[in-house]
Amino acid sequence: MAYNFLGLVNDINSRLNEVPLTSANFASATGFYNSAKDAVNSSIRTINHQQYEWPFNHVTAEETVTAGVVRYQFPTEMKTVNMDSFRLKRDNALNVESRKLQTYDYEEYVERYVDAEYNTTDTGIRGVPHIVFRTPSQEYGLYPPPNEAYTVVYEYYRLPFDLILFDDVPNIPEQFRHVIIEGAMYHAYLFRGDTENAALSLQRFDAGIKNMRSLLINRYEYLRSTMVLRSPVSASVVRLG
């Protein structure tokens, strides 16, 4: 079956000997079939909530800034953002190289540089930004105010989304399709009042999430030793007679 909303729901139907849905009747499905759709979305939500920074939710964003404008909105789908990932993108036409931006606390920015936001007449204070800060209102800001339309690059993790249309595809990689199905089967069995099989599916679901975390999250970075090794020096003893 295709890896989409319809295919996942029909995985449940197949395991419970129900008639499969089609793209034509998927949207109008009621009763158990509608419950199966909810079960798939519930499973996907649970997986996404188990870890804030699943790699499949990682996004690299680019934004072209406007000269003189300090603050910019984060995407509405953003869950967490890596402020240390902010950098300017190389632009040969603007004679600017790629460079990492220095992160400032919002309070530190307000104390030292906030007047630049209100001084809109003096274009001489504008330049190539080298500082980024995060505001309390889901925005980021740059200092000094840009003097050109530079491209800012940063990385964040997005919020999960519910599947709606029959051909919607989950953000979770297909290799973990079986994990989604086990989570959905838990809800499907509960809908039917089969608590015994629901408990078994929940165990397999939890094990599947644990395996996902082991494969995708638990990384062991290589560490390079900086210890200086010294060769042993043999001591000579000279006897003076």
Query: Is residue 44 located within the same domain as residue 66?
Result: no
Cβ atoms < 10 Å from Cβ of 10: 21
Give the pLDDT confidence score for residue 16 in this predicted structure: 96
Q: What are phi and psi of 141, to 5 degrees?
A: -130, 160
Mean pLDDT computed over every residue of the chain? 92
Query: Is residue 147 located within the same domain as residue 191?
Result: no
Query: Is residue 28 located within the same domain as residue 49?
Result: yes
Q: Say if residue 112's pLDDT is above 60.
A: yes
Query: Is residue 66 located within the same domain as residue 49?
Result: no
Q: What is the mean pLDDT of residues 15-25?
A: 96
Split at pLDDT 50, 70, 90, the class of 54 is very high
Dihedral sign from CA coordinates of 70, 147, 103, 224 = positive
Task: Please give the span between the terminal C-alpha atoms of the chain, in angstroms, as a whole number.
Answer: 95
Split at pLDDT 50, 70, 90, the class of 120 is confident
pLDDT in tens, 146-199: 999 999 999 999 998 999 999 999 999 999 999 999 999 999 999 999 999 999
Query: Is residue 83 located within the same domain as residue 149?
Result: yes
SS3 184: helix
Q: Say if residue 221's pLDDT is above 70.
A: no
Query: Is residue 72 located within the same domain as residue 93?
Result: yes
Split at pLDDT 50, 70, 90, the class of 226 is low
Cβ atoms < 10 Å from Cβ of 206: 16
* Tokens 């139907």, located at residue: 13
Whether residue 29 is contained in a domain is answered as yes
Torsion of CA 178, 80, 62, 212, to 10 degrees: -20
Q: Which is nearest to 148 in space by CA: 132, 126, 133?
A: 126
Split at pLDDT 50, 70, 90, the class of 52 is confident
Whether residue 49 is contained in a domain is answered as yes
Q: Using CA atoms, how far apart are residues 194 and 42, in angstroms rounded to an integer?
A: 18
* Tokens 């998927």, located at residue: 26
Split at pLDDT 50, 70, 90, the class of 232 is low
Q: Is the pTM of this model over 0.75?
A: yes
Note down the domain range covering 142.
57-157
Give the pLDDT confidence score for residue 13 in this predicted structure: 97
CA separation, residue 90 to residues 62, 99, 222 (Å) = 12, 8, 30
Give the pLDDT confidence score for residue 228 in this predicted structure: 56
Split at pLDDT 50, 70, 90, the class of 234 is very low
Number of domains in the chain: 2
Report whether the peptide linkage leading into residue 144 is cis, meaning its omega lies within 30 degrees of zero.
Answer: yes
Give the pLDDT confidence score for residue 231 in this predicted structure: 52
Query: Is residue 70 located within the same domain as residue 153?
Result: yes
Query: Is residue 149 located within the same domain as residue 108?
Result: yes
